[in-house]
Structure 1
Amino acid sequence: MSKPQDPKSPDIQGEGNYDATRRYDKAATDFVQSGKVDQGARDARPKSEAEAEAMKKAEQEGKSHAKGEDPALRKGGASK
């Protein structure tokens, strides 16, 4: 069980932890620049038909809780 954080802690920064965001952004940028994205995508592919079906079910379950697709994700940019 985790201990509640002190609201004056430097890790609590209003709407988010800016240091953690910077670390994540740097790690993501470093990964992309490493040239390992294609290999990572291949490694993430389902290993079997059963795993592919489980992944599809999980995606559908997640989408069932969503309010809708972000129009910015559609081809051609945001809807007008």
Structure 2
Amino acid sequence: MADQERKDPENEGEGNRSADRRYREGVAEHLRKGKVEQEAEDARRDVEANPDEFRRAEEEGKRHSAGDLPDDLAGKPSGE
């Protein structure tokens, strides 16, 4: 019975510590490379050169991130 009660060690669920650790290590490594300012400048130029494309992408993202659940638009957590 103990084997059946044990969780799959590869599926940590919410609060996945190993995924969090990998993410933070990746961010730290990216910052160590020192190209953040150049990447930000490149992104600014891209947005200025193609504002309609980025505006459409933003709107597409907003359509999927708000209003999927009735509580999304009310500004309160689901289930309340």
Q: Which band: TM-score by shorter chain?
A: 0.5 to 0.7
Q: Report the CA distance shift for 1:55/1:39 in structure 2 as closer, same or farther (over 3 A).
A: same
Q: Does 1:22 align with 2:33?
A: no
Per-residue Cα deviation, 1:14-41 (whole angstroms, up to 9, x for no partner)? 3143212101101102222332111112
For the residue of structure 1 that corresponds to 2:10, the secondary structure is coil
Instruction: Please state which structure has a larger fraction of its residues in helix.
Output: 2
- Residue 48 of structure 1 deviates from its aligned partner by 7.2
The aligned residue for residue 78 of structure 2 is none
For residues 34 and 41 of structure 1, the distance between their equivalents in structure 2, rounded to whole angstroms, comes to 14
Q: Report the CA distance shift for 1:36/1:55 in structure 2 as closer, same or farther (over 3 A).
A: same
- Residue 58 of structure 1 deviates from its aligned partner by 1.0
Q: Does 1:39 align with 2:38?
A: yes
**Largest Rg, 1 or 2:** 2
For residues 10 and 46 of structure 2, the distance between their equivalents in structure 1, rounded to whole angstroms, comes to 37
Unaligned ranges ≥5, structure 2:
1-5, 67-71, 74-80
Q: Does 1:11 align with 2:10?
A: yes
Unaligned ranges ≥5, structure 1:
1-6, 69-80
TM, length-normalised to structure 1: 0.54
